[in-house]
Structure formats: structure tokens, C-alpha cells
Structure 1
Amino acid sequence: MKFWMSACLYCFFSQMAFAEHTLDLTKLEYLTESYPPYNYIEEGKFKGIAIDLLNAALQQASHKPQELNIRLFPWPRAYKMMLKGSNRVLFSTTRTQEREPLFQWAGPITSTKVVLLALTEEHINIQSIEQLAQYSIGTIKDDIGEQLLLSSGFPFSQIRQAHSAESLVRMLSKGRIQLWAYEENVARWYIANSSLPNNRFTSVFTLKESELFYAFSKDTDPKLVASLQDAIDKLKRPPAEGNQSRYDKILSQYQ
């Protein structure tokens, strides 16, 4: 009798562990934008720090490669879909106090800095947020740069929205806006790929230093979020003293 009960308990807990171990993260819909070097498409394939970390974390969680349903949209559309949808993941998403209650979170993917860029030749010098009132600033709708400006009290009437970072590079280079609010590494990537010298543009003010995360719909099973978080944490641990973690190896590919 004792043997039978022990065997049953063993099977029960083994099944529980197996169920936890095989949480299916592939049933979620993953939304992203073109935001290099974090997430973008090159030669028809998704690439970037966030993409590589996500794939590695899912393999870590399940011990096998998983096919993901990743869809790329302009940020305003992806953000709107995220707010209205269910079982979705949006990345790379800057985690802020305003966004905190809207989603569940896993990460961080990496650190991030949202800045204001200006033409170097204009010699713009900004020391405080209050000085921004005299400038027109280019943004993308619902992007973190725009949200930070509006939360600081910057008037919407002085914001010039564009549909893409490429458009904002052109607007700033031609003097149609005086400042551009965007993530610094991503902005520099787009400047370089617009065949413009990066030294023509200067970061004149930092709006926020934060971290990028995977944002999950509020209705997502918390066990799925915890599963991805645990896998990310494991990837960040070096396998042995003095060796690079898998996470550090991913970052090094994009430096």
C-alpha cells in the first residue's frame, strides 16, 4: 500500500514538474517594430538583441527550438494592438511608471537611453526640461520619446509626429524640426543607414535612462511570464567563473 501511494505521488509530482517545464510560449503572439539593433528584419529574417535573447530564452525554457509567431508593425499600430489584444507580447518596450500597470513584464533585455538629438551646427544647449518649450520636436506616435515629453508637460502643439525613424532623420537634417526624441542607439543606426554622417547630429539632452523589456498582455498566464523570466535570468549567469554568459555573447554580436 505504501509503495502504491509513493508511486502515485511520484507520478503526480512528475506530471506537475513536466507541465511546468513544458509551458507553451509559442501560443502567444509576438509584436515588434523595426528598432535596430534590438529588433529588425534583415534579408527577410528577424535579427537583433531582443530577437536573439527571446529565441535563446525559449530554447532554455523548453530545451528545444520553438517557432514563434512574430509580426512586425509600425510602433503606433503595435502598441494599439497590444493595449486591445490578448495573449500578446510587445518588444522592445521601455518600462516606465506610466506603462507599469498596463502590462506584465519579463527582462530586462538591455539598458536604454532616450535622448533629444539636434543638428550639431545649430549649437543647441539644453540644461533642463523647461527649456524645451521654444523648440519643435519630432516624435513617433506612442513612442517612449513622445510619452516622456507629454508627461513632462511639453505642449502637443509643438510635437511633429512622423510614421518612421527614417522620416524623422530627414526632417531633422532638413531643418523641418529642431529636435528629435528617440532611443539613442536606434537613432544612430538610422542616421548611419541614411548615408548621413553621425557627427552632424548631437545628443543634447537625456529624457530618460531605463531598460527595455518584453511586455505581456495583462491576461497572459503569469506562469508563462515567469517561465520566460526564469530562462532570461539563467542566460545571464556565466557558466563558470571568468567565462561569458550566453546573454553577454548575444550583446557582443551587436557592438
Structure 2
Amino acid sequence: MRLVIYIIFSFFVMVSPVRSAQINELTYLTEQYPPYNFEQDGVLQGIAVDVLQAVGKQSQSPITLPQIQLQPWPRAYRATLIKPNTVLFSTTRTPLREHIFQWAGPISPTRIVVLAKRSRNIEINHAMALAQYRIGVIRDDVGEQLLLELGVPRDSMVESSVPDTLADQLTKERIDLWAYEENVAKWWIKKGGYDAEEYEVVYVLREGELYFAFNLEVDRTMILHFQNALNDLKRTPESGTSIYQQILNKYR
């Protein structure tokens, strides 16, 4: 009986125009986190931005770029925790965060690492060896949270709210290490005019996936509708490439 009720409930969620229309009434927050979400030449773009807009189109509830607010990560993260009808992306889904948000995704695989200059010849054989170095972190970012989970003292961390500051500090050796998403960190190093090949991963903190993180008060049926639309984007047609894959290919 419960299974029948669930199937009927899911059907109405998928077809209901009222629920669909509400998706574009949410507040979407993001940060400079290329290639997933970033602003370049005054235009917001990236894998996650394109996926979000495609979800809106699939749901017949268009989400325009002006509806997406670009903010420093700490501000966006805290706002999503406390403000109803707010969504944060791209957010690494971790056990620590599991019950403080609701989730839809995944958007993409991700790898959170600790980077160092190759010329420094830094070797990290166990987590606590990190504590002897100055480690750059973004406040409230998953890199900082994972270091704290491992027991690395906060005194070993140099906090910032913007990644380009940490990229600059790493290249000038004002910090020894940088804990951040691998692709994003290398993008910022390149943007600063440096060769990303001169930097290496010395420790892997977490391999996981990026998601859309919803405030706990967002209606669960709306999130289910969002997830159904995202799943549809990933389905490969009989001939051709899925919409999701087309978005990934755009940023390779």
C-alpha cells in the first residue's frame, strides 16, 4: 500500500505545473569556482550554471542568469544554512554536511586535494604531517572542514574568503600548501599567470561529488522535481549525446 501511495505521489510531483513553477522562485547562490561556476567578462557561466539553467528549461520553469547571485563562499554558505528557499552550488557532499542541507545531483565528480610547489619537494605521508606547514584554506570550504576532521589544528591554516588570494600566496611561498578542489585551484593558478604544471598534489583529502545544496526548509517535493529534471538531462537519446554530456564537453 505504501509503495502505491509513493508512486502516485511521485507521478503528481513530476506532472504538477504548480510545483514546477516554484523552481525558479528559489534563490540561487554560487561563487567563483571554475570550471563549475564563475564569472568571466561579466558573464556568469560554468558547468553547474549551465546544468541549473537546463534543469529550469526541462522543468518549464526558466532560471535566468540574474536570478543567480555570485558571492564569496563563506557568505553564500551561511546564507543557505539560515535562509529558506535558498540553494547553494557547487557544493561537495560530505558526511559533515549531509544533514544540514537537502541535496540534488550530482553535478560532477570532484577531488579535494592539498597542493604544493614541485620545487619545494614536500612529502606528506600521513595527515598530521600537514600540521607543520602553513595551509591556505577558504573559510567554510570543504578543504578547511576536511582538515579539521583530520585533526589538523586551525593554527596551521591561513584563511581567506577569495581563492585568487591563496593562489597568489602559494606562488609567492607565503603559504606552503593549499587545500582546495584540484581543478579549481589549478584554474586560479593559471589565471594568475603561472604554470599549473609546477604544482603537484601532495595529499588527497576527499574524492566525492558536487551537488546543489538546498536549505532544509525547501519543500521536498520541489527538490524531487528538480532531481527528476536533472536525471532527464543525463539520459542518452537513442542517437546523439545527452544534454548533460554536451555541457561537460563545452568546458573541456
Normalised to the residue count of structure 2, the TM-score between the two structures is 0.91
Q: Is the 8 A contact 2:80 2:215 kept in 1?
A: yes
Per-residue CA shift, 1:38-72, capped at 9, x if unaligned? 0011222210000000101111111x634362111
- For 1:49 and 1:31, how far apart are their aligned partners in 2? 15
Q: Is the 8 A contact 1:21 1:61 kept in 2?
A: no
Q: Which runs of 5+ in 2 are unaligned?
A: 1-10
| Cα deviation, residue 224, structure 1 | 1.1
Per-residue CA shift, 1:72-130, capped at 9, x if unaligned? 11001111111111100000000000000001100000000000000110011112212
Work out which of the residue numbers 243, 246, 249 in structure 2 matches 1:249: 246
Query: What are the within-5 Å matches in structure 2 for residues 120-199 of structure 1?
Result: 120-199=118-197
- For 2:79 and 2:93, how far apart are their aligned partners in 1? 18
Q: Which runs of 5+ in 1 are unaligned?
A: 1-12
Identity of aligned residues (%): 45
- For 2:225 and 2:218, how far apart are their aligned partners in 1? 12
| Cα deviation, residue 137, structure 1 | 0.5
Superposition misfits of 4+ residues, deviation over 2 angstroms: 16-23, 64-68
- For 2:36 and 2:72, how far apart are their aligned partners in 1? 15
Q: Is the 8 A contact 1:31 1:70 kept in 2?
A: yes
- For 1:66 and 1:184, how far apart are their aligned partners in 2? 29
Per-residue CA shift, 1:131-162, capped at 9, x if unaligned? 21211101010011000001111100111112
Per-residue CA shift, 1:168-209, capped at 9, x if unaligned? 111111111111000000011111110001122111111000
Q: Secondary structure in 2 aligned to 1:58?
A: helix
How many residue pairs are counted as aligned between the two chains? 240
Q: Is the 8 A contact 2:19 2:222 kept in 1?
A: no
CA RMSD of aligned residues (A): 1.7
In structure 2, what is the equivalent of residue 4 of structure 1? none
Q: Pick the structure with greater CA Rg.
A: 1
Q: Secondary structure in 2 aligned to 1:228?
A: helix
- For 2:115 and 2:15, how far apart are their aligned partners in 1? 51
- For 1:93 and 1:66, how far apart are their aligned partners in 2? 19
Tell me: CA distance 1:66–1:155, structure 2 relative to 1, closer, same or farther (3 Å): closer
In structure 2, what is the equivalent of residue 112 of structure 1? 110
In structure 2, what is the equivalent of residue 5 of structure 1? none
